[in-house]
Amino acid sequence: MDDDRVSNSSANRHFAQLFVAPSAPVAMRRQLLQAGLGSAALSFLGLPALAASSGQPAIGFTPISVANDDVVRVPDGCTAQLLYAWGDPASAGPAFLADAGNSAAEQAEQAGMHHDGMHFFPFVENGRPSSTHGLLCINHEYTDDGLLHPDGMAAWSHAKTLKSQNAHGVSVIEVELGGNGMDSRWRLVRPSSYARRITARTPLRIVGPAAGAAAMRTREDRRGEVVFGTVANCAMGVTPWGTYLSCEENFNGYFNGLAQPTADQRRYGIHPGGAGFRWHEHDSRFDVASEPNEVNRFGWVVEIDPWRPAQAPVKRTALGRFKHECATVTLAGDGRVVVYLTDDEAFEYLYKFVSRDRFDAARPAHNAGLLDVGTLHVGRFDADGRGRWLALRHGDNGLGVNSGFADQAEILIRTRQAADLVGATKMDRPEWIAVHPHSGEVYCTLTNNRQRRSAAAANPRPENVFGHIIRWREDGADAAAGSFAWDVFVLCGDPQHADPGKRGNIRGDAFGSPDGLWFDRQGRLWILTDVSGNALNGQDYQRLGNNQMLVGDVVSGKIRRFLTGPKGCEITGISQAPDARSLFVNIQHPGEVAGGRSNPAAPLAGSGWPANQFPEATGGRPRSATLVIRRRDGGIVGS
């Protein structure tokens, strides 16, 4: 989901100075890098100066063309199976009705709308992780309330508010592969003792340094320790102890702000009317005038243990409060847990949390608290190709009572303001982060930023319409390091664009607005795009077709188009079975109209339904859905 407003009016640098065009050959660039020099000069080429030089897996499929039709296309030899669409029962619940006439209570037992980040957790069978039986955790980022109700948003009511809230959150579903050979298909296990829906009304615990703080207390929760619901669940992360992290992104849009918002509210994009959800009309928690602190209880990372269906999810406040896109977890060499975090809004920041204590596979209770104690840092990308992680810790880097932060809880609740103060680098909408499974290099999508007016080192294009992918290597190959070397992996674009500044430097198939980013176990980089409805097929994107998914080789830099989606959708959410022979992918908001809300009173308006019918193609409402992609020969997908 896009929120194109800008909330960051801080004076932090854009690094408009100093860009030296590179001319050094690759060998010299590598030497420069080893000496800690020169990678800014390397970055415009998008060459693999940082990448590991060997061990990259094969990418052998024949790439597909751009497409504008209303289907999913994959390379020859692959199949895409529909698994779980909006309204499908998560367990033994009621079936979807074609007119969307299901009640709010029924929606609470069915797939939510707008599938996003996702992960496959395998069962362990015969002592090995199963590739045919697992739990899928799936985020449901937001709703199109024009599609959600038979008559859309007309006569907005308490019942519609409840249904909208119940179509948010997360699904946990149990899935298995049945049948033989290519006749086999994935299906949901129904009923399942693991399946559950977590919604915008489910009780969640609040833990970590901000739990119980005065700003976290409300009329309903005088202790500041329990909150109803999670919203705007965008991308995700997975912990070494087998839990799922779900990230609250555009939470601000659910709140009706004050006519005159405070400076802190403005910094978090809390405005009158929000994004038009109208929940506040029937649930006073979402009306800032009625309950000023409820908004402080959203914008966090939520940990869910899929194996304990009775356990309440947990908001982990040590990871900071902002528009969380992703929470990508890796381990430092000494076993401390490192979480890379992004704040997806134009000119916002990249973050890194480092736990105080070490992961210990033998101590599950100890691991459950690892994300509550540690240090949150924010990234500064310098023009010389170096960068630093700046601690957001009370008493350090000018963060204290004198600068307006009473304690660590306040630094975490007002993370953006703390990051402003320490001099973080304003980025072009950071989305997903992926860590190379062998080299430890970190890659991050910067999806676009049309509002940038001047080049800056790590964000090198003004009016960044197509976005880019940045990467860095932590010093000493230690994920917990305080500094790093960065370069730009690729500048996205259309090589046929009339404006040379928008052509990019892709080696392979054209794309723009990269959003999802993920390494498979062997080290292929999967790139999922989210060109907004307003830009799809517009002047800049006229040759790039529908949103797509590509596969990149981070050593050669070559990128091939693997999948194109139906009209109006974005591609987001990706995971694989351990044998890499089943790939799970989400199609979000197929048939979306520009602006994001359908009008059932005028369904043919814009590009919306029923002209767009994915996945049924029978004239029904378009539905976000999880797909499973496999090869007819049973081979590794993407190889």
| Residues in contact with Ca ion by the rule CB under 5 A | 515, 530
CA distance 593 to 31: 50
Rounded Cα distance, 598 and 589, in Å: 11
Q: Is 554 in the site for ligand FEO (CB under 6 A)?
A: no
What would the two tokens of residue 94 be?
């009621």
Nearer to ligand FEO, 467 or 622 (CB): 467
**Does position 1 bind ligand FEO by CB under 6 A?**
yes
Q: Is 475 exposed, middle or buried (0-12, 13-18, 19+ CB in 10 A)?
A: middle
Structure tokens given for 615 = 């996945």
Q: Which is nearer to ligand FEO, 70 or 141 (CB)?
A: 141
Whichever of 204 and 247 has its CB closer to ligand FEO, that residue is: 247
We find the least distance from the C-beta atom of residue 326 to ligand FEO, in angstroms, to be: 9
What mask of x and - would describe binding to ligand FEO in positions 224 to 243, judged by CB under 6 A? Answer: ----------x---------
249 binds, among ligand FEO, Ca ion, none (CB under 5 to 8 A by kind): ligand FEO
For 626, the 3-state DSSP assignment is: strand
With vertex at residue 57, the alpha carbon angle to CA 51 and CA 61, rounded to the nearest 5 degrees, is: 120
Q: State the nearest-atom distance from the C-beta of 242 to ligand FEO, in Å.
A: 24
> Which residues 464-523 are close enough to bind ligand FEO by CB under 6 A?
515
Give residue 268's region: left, alpha or beta (phi > 0; psi -120 to 50): alpha
Coil vs helix vs strand at 41: helix
Which distant-in-sequence residues (6+ apart) come within 8 Å of 365 by Cβ? Answer: none
Question: Of 291 and 515, which CB lies nearer to Ca ion in the complex structure?
Answer: 515
Report what 304 binds from ligand FEO, Ca ion, none; CB cut-off 5-8 Å by kind: none
Beta strands at 442-446 and 324-331: parallel, antiparallel or unpaired: unpaired
Q: Which does 141 bind (CB under 5 to 8 A by kind): ligand FEO, Ca ion, none?
A: ligand FEO
Q: What is the Cα–Cα distance from 281 to 309, expressed in whole angstroms?
A: 32
Q: Confirm or reject binding of residue 249 to ligand FEO (CB under 6 A).
A: yes
Q: Which C-beta is closer to ligand FEO: that of 1 or that of 577?
A: 1
Nearer to Ca ion, 88 or 116 (CB): 116
The least distance separating Ca ion from the CB of residue 116, rounded to whole angstroms, comes to 7
Q: At its nearest, how many Å lie between ligand FEO and the CB of residue 113?
A: 13
Q: Find which of Ca ion, ligand FEO, none residue 1 binds, CB within 5 to 8 Å per kind.
A: ligand FEO
Question: Shortest distance, CB of residue 548 to Ca ion, whole angstroms?
Answer: 14
Residue 303 binding result from ligand FEO, Ca ion, none, given CB thresholds of 5 to 8 Å by partner type: none
User: Would you state the structure tokens that stand for residue 51, as one six-digit string?
Assistant: 């990448």
Distances (CA, A) of 308 to 137, 370, 372: 13, 18, 20
Q: CA 325 to CA 249: how far, in whole Å?
A: 6
- In the complex, minimum distance from the CB of residue 322 to ligand FEO, in angstroms, rounded to a whole number: 12
Q: Which does 509 bind (CB under 5 to 8 A by kind): ligand FEO, Ca ion, none?
A: none
Q: How far apart are CA 594 and CA 588, in angstroms?
A: 14
Q: Is the peptide bond between 48 and the residue preceding it cis, with omega within 30 degrees of 0?
A: no
* Shortest distance in whole angstroms from residue 5 CB to ligand FEO: 14
Q: What is the CA radius of gyration of the chain?
A: 23
Q: Out of 344, 372, 520, 540, name the contact with ligand FEO by CB under 6 A.
A: 344
Residue 592 binds ligand FEO (CB under 6 A):
no
Task: Decide whether 428 or 431 has the Cβ nearer to ligand FEO.
Answer: 431
Which one of Ca ion, ligand FEO, none interacts with residue 587, CB within 5 to 8 A by kind? none
Binder of residue 371, out of Ca ion, ligand FEO, none (CB less than 5 to 8 A by kind): none
Cβ distance 172 to 137 under 8 Å?
yes
Using CB under 6 A, which residues numbered 399 to 438 contact ligand FEO? 431
Interface with ligand FEO in residues 303-342 (CB under 6 A): 325
Terminal C-alpha separation, the chain = 31
**CB of 145 or CB of 344, closer to ligand FEO:** 344
What's the min distance (Å) between Cβ of 235 and ligand FEO? 7
Q: Smaller CB distance to Ca ion: residue 306 or 430?
A: 430
- Residue ranges of E strands in 313-464: 314-316, 324-331, 336-343, 346-348, 350-358, 374-381, 386-391, 427-428, 430-435, 442-446
Q: Determine, following the binding rule CB under 6 A, whether residue 291 of this chain makes contact with ligand FEO.
A: no
Least separation in angstroms between CB 443 and ligand FEO:
16
The residue within the footprint of ligand FEO, chosen from 88, 141, 305, 509 (CB under 6 A), is 141
Q: Choose the one of ligand FEO, Ca ion, none that binds residue 90, judging by a C-beta under 5 to 8 angstroms depending on kind.
A: none
In the complex, least distance from residue 141 CB atom to ligand FEO, rounded to whole angstroms: 6
Q: Is 122 exposed, middle or buried (0-12, 13-18, 19+ CB in 10 A)?
A: middle
Minimum distance from CB of 299 to Ca ion (Å)? 16
For the beta carbon of residue 510, count every other beta carbon within 10 angstroms: 23
DSSP 227-290: EE----EEEEEE-TTS-EEEEE-SGGGGSB--SS--HHHHHTT--TTTTS--GGGT-GGGBTTT
- Which pair of structure tokens corresponds to residue 538? 């517009």
Closest approach of ligand FEO to the CB of residue 502, in Å: 21
Look at phi and psi of residue 522 and say left if phi exceeds 0, alpha if psi is from -120 to 50, else beta: alpha
Residues that bind ligand FEO (CB under 6 A): 1, 141, 234, 249, 325, 344, 431, 515
